[in-house]
Structure formats: structure tokens, C-alpha cells
Amino acid sequence: MKMAGSTLSDGSFWQETTDGVRDVLPITLGVVPFAGVFGALAIEHGFSLSELILASMTIYAGASQYAMLDLMGQGVPAWSIVLAVFAINFRHLLYSASLGRRLSAFSRWQKVLAFFWLVDPLFASAETRAFKRPLRPAYYFAYGGVLYATWMASNLLGALFGSLIDNPADFGLDFILPLYFTGLVVGLHKRPSFLPVFVVSIAISLAVWFTIGSPWHISLGGLAGLLAAAWLSKPDEGQKREVNHV
């Protein structure tokens, strides 16, 4: 089946696919232990193997899945867990709003799958790719497919063999999540207005963390960064006059 926006005759499909696989491979080195620990913790929290696989296949959002396990372990009511997962995943709405304008080469059903697979590293890589050239389905789904398969396979491995690791913190595995997100953010440092948007997001996230608490610092920090980016992207009066003159 030929994907929208790609052709087999000129080799672009295979080049885009190769580029996607090449770009995702370094990310999988961080995803494997991150997903493996989740699989082990899920079994430890009473999930069956089938429940774990179903949860990861349908939710597919590492940070919120970790939060879900933590809240379940604290005996938090189900509605609070759902609300927390929504709060953490709110950033994906922002991702969709940003990346949606890049998907002109995607069919309707390709967009549906693209938004389902839109996790942090895929968003960062797709935005970086689109900044240099048009974003094609072959690249996006090669990257996203490898990432999704790695997440699921690592969950399974963690569930089956995670009990062999007595204390993940001894190996620094509890620090994977902060390093994971830090790497994604640093990878976008060349984008316009990166520093002020970054500072605003961090400042609001810390303020919310020390006042309202987790997990709202993630969503509200991201929203503050979005508003800062929107404000900084507004044309000045000279640009407005030039546009109106034209």
C-alpha cells in the first residue's frame, strides 16, 4: 500500500522510512529501560499480563501510566486517577495543535493514527524534521512504529523478568524519566524564542508544584509555555503595517 505523499518510484518512500528508523534508534535506548521498569511495576501492583498489555496498547503514555500506578498504590479513588492522567496527558492536545499544521501530506486515517502515536519523542522529532523539510507519512510512521513496538516489547520483558531487579533505584532507573524529558527539551534549543518559553514553563511548573501540587504542574507549565510562545510570535506594529499595506 502506498502512503499519501510518498512515491515508490523515486525512492523517497524508502529514504523517508530509513530516516525515520535511523532517528528513532537512539531514543529506543532510553525507552527500553523506561518501559521495562513500568512493566515490572505494573505486575508488582497487581496487574495481570493481559491487563498490562491492554493498558499500554490503549493508553500509550508513559508518564501518565507511571502516575496511574503510583496513585493506585496510594489507594486514590478511580476518578482522581482518571483526572490525574488527563492532566498529565493534556500536553498531547498542545502537541496535536502544533503538529496538525504539518500533516498536509497525510490522509484522514493517517492523521488519526498519527495523533494516537503522538508521544513526546515523536513530537520532538517530527517538529525538528518539519522545520527542515515537509513531514511525510513514511518518516512519521517508521519512527512511530519502531517506538510503539519498542514500548510494548519492553513492557513485556519488564513484566516477565523485572522481578530479577530488587531495587531499580540502585541502577539509577528511577532517574530515567527526568533525563528522558530533559533530552527532548534540549533538542529543541535552536527554535525561535526557546529560552524565554523554557523559562516561563519552568517557573510556572515550579510555582504550581509548590502550591497546587502534582500532577497539575505538568499541564499548567506547558500551557504557560504555549501562551508565552503565542505572545512572542505576535507581529510587532511595523510588521502589521507592512502586512496591511500589502
Q: What is the pLDDT of residues 1-34, one digit of tens each?
A: 445 544 444 458 899 999 999 999 988 888 888 8
24-31 contact pairs (CB < 8 A, 24+): 24/121, 24/125, 24/142, 24/143, 24/146, 24/147, 25/146, 27/121, 27/125, 27/147, 28/146, 28/147, 28/150, 30/176, 30/179, 30/180, 30/183, 31/121, 31/147, 31/150, 31/151, 31/154
> In this structure, are 88 and 42 located in the same domain?
yes
pLDDT over 70 for what percent of the chain?
A: 75
pLDDT digits (tens, 9 = 90+) for 182-237: 666 666 666 667 788 888 888 988 898 888 876 677 667 777 877 887 787 765 55
In a domain, 17, yes or no: yes
In a domain, 7, yes or no: no
Q: What is the residue whose three cell numbers read 537512539?
A: 26
Q: Is the pLDDT of residue 80 over 90?
A: no
> In this structure, are 153 and 32 located in the same domain?
yes
Give the closest residue to 233 by CA, choosing from 198, 204, 197, 201.
197
> In this structure, are 119 and 38 located in the same domain?
yes
Provide the grid cell at 246.
500589502
In a domain, 112, yes or no: yes
Give the closest residue to 13 by CA, choosing from 138, 143, 102, 145.
138
Q: Give me the sign of the Cα torsion angle 115, 201, 25, 171.
A: negative
In a domain, 31, yes or no: yes
pLDDT digits (tens, 9 = 90+) for 43-54: 888 899 999 999
User: How many domains would you assign to the chain?
Assistant: 2
- pTM over 0.75? The answer is no
Q: How confident is the model at residue 242, as a pLDDT? A: 46
Q: How confident is the model at residue 185, as a pLDDT? A: 66
Q: What is the residue range of 240's domain?
A: 192-246
Note whether 86 and 62 are within 8 A (CB): no
In a domain, 6, yes or no: no
Residue 180, H or E segment: helix 176-186
